[in-house]
């Protein structure tokens, strides 16, 4: 009997090695190598789909941007950069139960209702389960074809014979190629199946959507290794405790990254949220200390979100810094800056920071909002109702310029905010029109003057270096 050739793969990043390693040299993960069979087949398949293209001048090539097909869901089109590009491969990752199958079925219904044939391949659910979901969200067009199959070879045959406008594979972890003896979901199978599917998509010009599961531990071969291979990577964010679902483009060869689409899970599937800012602010407590509204740029769209901080005396030796939706290290850094520059006694205080609505902020422009929320909670002094705050904070307590200042101010004005606290415009930016309500701050002491000048205690330590000994006694 012929011996099966094996190799060791990292479960985290898919790195291949001839021998077992304790630590992956590529991603640094410990104890992540598993032994799996390898196929000698892949090279032969690549030859089958070879394009036999010749070198040619770039000005003779057509851009093909007209080949974009609208999905029918405006939020989905936005994250894809304007619609589905012919022959592109999109990977949708997200935790189980977040709504990947639902949003894809809805998207396919929108296409099928325009008489465009679409193929939904499921390896996870039975046809009747899919029908139940389809009944719930009203996806019942005749051009929506459903295939329940896990064999890669059969799936590829069906895709080629149907030649759909879009094909969805739900999920890539359930697909299994006969060329490899390893089970579905293993690193080898995921890589092999996606390689072949991607080659087919490019060669035949059929757009593909691949669903990929991620677990918190990254135990199965997750979409991480696929991210390099596909054109677009979308991540589904949001937790099951909230109705909001955000689809974020983390990689896009055909459009801007970090663009987000906002949805709300309802009884009848996912509904698009066309005005996310007002939704995120709808439950905001007015005149509560520790609550600040910031204008964050998500891709090309400004988004107003509420940021909350709670500062309270620490009972144990080491104060806690707990953050949801913002980077923990960033909050520790900003707390240290506040301590040094404004003399806030934060070393003896626990700090909790939360972004309302389950949104995640990773823009430095959120710094000033975090700082303002901490100051507000520490001094127990609310920030005035119609105020938005944004800017980056440096280690010396200086407030640094941010991009797209005008867009943020406009969005804030549109939602009825009459005061925007921002860094001064950078020299290249011309002062914006209609900026009556904008207040420029250059440092954290400026910020404390602008936001908390009515506070007696804040005023006492408004100038740099004056430590609040009186308060803490």
Residue range at the interface with ligand TYD (CB under 6 A); choices 96-104, 109-117, 312-320, 323-331 = 96-104
- Is position 15 an interface residue for Mg ion (rule: CB under 5 A)? no
Nearer to Mg ion, 101 or 194 (CB): 101
| Residue 70 Cβ vs Mg ion, minimum distance, rounded to whole Å | 24
* Alpha carbon 472 to chain centroid, angstroms: 41
| Residue 386 Cβ vs ligand TYD, minimum distance, rounded to whole Å | 35
Phi-psi region of 72 (alpha: psi -120 to 50; beta: other; left: phi over 0): left
Distances (CA, A) of 255 to 102, 195, 230, 249: 24, 23, 14, 9
Partner whose binding site includes residue 431, from Mg ion, ligand TYD, none (CB under 5 to 8 Å by kind): none
- Is position 43 an interface residue for ligand TYD (rule: CB under 6 A)? no
Nearer to ligand TYD, 98 or 309 (CB): 98
Give the footprint of Mg ion on residues 227-266 (CB under 5 A): none
- Is position 188 an interface residue for ligand TYD (rule: CB under 6 A)? no
- Is position 94 an interface residue for ligand TYD (rule: CB under 6 A)? yes
**Packing angle of the helix pair 367-379, 444-452 (nearest 10 deg):** 50
| Residue 316 Cβ vs ligand TYD, minimum distance, rounded to whole Å | 38
Nearer to Mg ion, 69 or 171 (CB): 171
Place of tokens 């592109």: 88
Nearer to ligand TYD, 83 or 99 (CB): 99
Gyration radius of the chain over CA positions: 26
- Is position 101 an interface residue for Mg ion (rule: CB under 5 A)? yes
- Quick one: which of 22, 97, 241, 454 contacts ligand TYD (CB under 6 A)? 97
Nearer to ligand TYD, 237 or 392 (CB): 237
Return d(Cα 353, Cα 374) in angstroms, integer: 8
Task: For residue 171, say if its preceding peptide bond is cis, omega within 30 degrees of 0.
Answer: yes
Return d(Cα 466, Cα 473) in angstroms, integer: 15
Residues 426-463, buried b or exposed e (16+ Cβ, 10 A)? eeeeeeeeebebbbebebbbbbbbbbbeebeebeebee
- Is position 130 an interface residue for ligand TYD (rule: CB under 6 A)? no
Return d(Cα 311, Cα 291) in angstroms, integer: 12
Return d(Cα 142, Cα 452) in angstroms, integer: 62
Partner whose binding site includes residue 97, from Mg ion, ligand TYD, none (CB under 5 to 8 Å by kind): ligand TYD
- Is position 133 an interface residue for ligand TYD (rule: CB under 6 A)? yes
Q: Are 372 and 451 contacting, i.e. CB atoms less than 8 angstroms apart?
A: yes
- DSSP annotation string for 344-384: --GGGEEEEEEEGGG-----GGGHHHHHHHHHHHHHT-PPP
| Residue 167 Cβ vs ligand TYD, minimum distance, rounded to whole Å | 17
- Is position 173 an interface residue for ligand TYD (rule: CB under 6 A)? no
- Is position 137 an interface residue for ligand TYD (rule: CB under 6 A)? yes
Tokens of 459: 């005023």
Nearer to Mg ion, 28 or 96 (CB): 96
Return d(Cα 310, Cα 315) in angstroms, integer: 15
Residue range at the interface with ligand TYD (CB under 6 A); choices 133-141, 153-161, 323-331, 365-373 = 133-141
| Residue 214 Cβ vs ligand TYD, minimum distance, rounded to whole Å | 10
- Is position 174 an interface residue for Mg ion (rule: CB under 5 A)? no
| Residue 184 Cβ vs ligand TYD, minimum distance, rounded to whole Å | 16
Place of tokens 């090279």: 43
* Alpha carbon 296 to chain centroid, angstroms: 14
- Quick one: which of 234, 265, 293, 374 contacts ligand TYD (CB under 6 A)? 265
Report residue 216: phi and psi, to 5°: -60, -35
Nearer to ligand TYD, 185 or 269 (CB): 269
Return d(Cα 96, Cα 91) in angstroms, integer: 15
Residue range at the interface with ligand TYD (CB under 6 A); choices 16-24, 97-105, 184-192, 378-386 = 97-105
Note the residues at the interface with ligand TYD (CB under 6 A).
94, 96-102, 133, 136-137, 265, 267-269
């Amino acid at each position: 009997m012929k011996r099966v050739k094996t190799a060791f793969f990292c479960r985290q990043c898919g790195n291949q090695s001839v021998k077992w390693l304790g630590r992956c040299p590529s991603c640094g993960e410990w104890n992540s190598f598993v032994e799996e069979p390898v196929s000698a087949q892949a090279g032969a398949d690549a030859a089958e789909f070879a394009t036999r293209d010749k070198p040619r001048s770039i000005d003779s090539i057509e851009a093909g941007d007209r080949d974009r097909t609208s999905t029918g869901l405006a939020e989905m089109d936005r994250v894809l950069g304007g619609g589905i590009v012919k022959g592109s491969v999109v990977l949708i990752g997200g935790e189980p139960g977040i709504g990947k199958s639902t949003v894809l079925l809805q998207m396919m219904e929108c296409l099928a209702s325009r008489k465009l044939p679409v193929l939904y391949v499921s390896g996870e659910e039975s046809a009747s389960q899919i029908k139940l979901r389809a009944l719930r969200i009203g996806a019942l067009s005749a051009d929506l074809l459903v295939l329940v199959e896990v064999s890669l070879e059969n799936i590829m045959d069906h895709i080629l014979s149907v030649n759909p406008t879009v094909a969805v594979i739900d999920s890539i972890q359930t697909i299994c190629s006969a060329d490899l003896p390893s089970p579905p979901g293993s690193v080898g199978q995921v890589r092999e199946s996606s390689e072949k599917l991607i080659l087919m998509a490019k060669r035949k010009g059929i757009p593909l959507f691949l669903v990929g599961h991620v677990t918190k531990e990254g135990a199965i071969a997750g979409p991480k290794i696929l991210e390099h291979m596909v054109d677009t990577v979308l991540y589904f964010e949001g937790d099951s405790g909230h109705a909001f679902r955000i689809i974020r483009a983390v990689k896009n060869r055909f459009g801007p990254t970090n663009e987000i689409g906002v949805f709300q899970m309802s009884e009848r599937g996912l509904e698009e949220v066309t005005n996310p800012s007002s939704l995120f602010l709808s439950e905001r407590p007015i005149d509560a200390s520790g609550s600040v509204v910031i204008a964050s740029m998500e891709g090309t769209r400004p988004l107003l979100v509420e940021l909350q901080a709670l500062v309270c005396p620490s009972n144990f030796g080491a104060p806690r810094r707990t953050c949801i939706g913002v980077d923990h290290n960033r909050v520790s850094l900003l707390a240290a800056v506040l301590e040094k520059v404004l003399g806030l006694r934060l070393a003896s205080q626990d700090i909790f920071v939360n972004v309302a609505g389950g949104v995640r902020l990773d823009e430095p422009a959120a710094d000033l909002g975090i700082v303002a929320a901490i100051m507000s909670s520490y001094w127990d002094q609310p920030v005035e109702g119609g105020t938005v705050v944004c800017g980056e904070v440096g280690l010396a307590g200086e407030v640094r310029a941010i991009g797209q200042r005008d867009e943020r101010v406009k969005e804030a004005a549109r939602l009825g905010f009459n005061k925007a606290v921002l860094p001064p415009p950078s020299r290249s930016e011309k002062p914006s029109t209609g900026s009556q309500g904008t207040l420029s701050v250059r440092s954290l002491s400026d910020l404390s003057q602008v936001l908390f000048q009515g506070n007696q205690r804040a005023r006492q330590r408004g100038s740099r270096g004056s430590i609040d000994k009186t308060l803490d006694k």
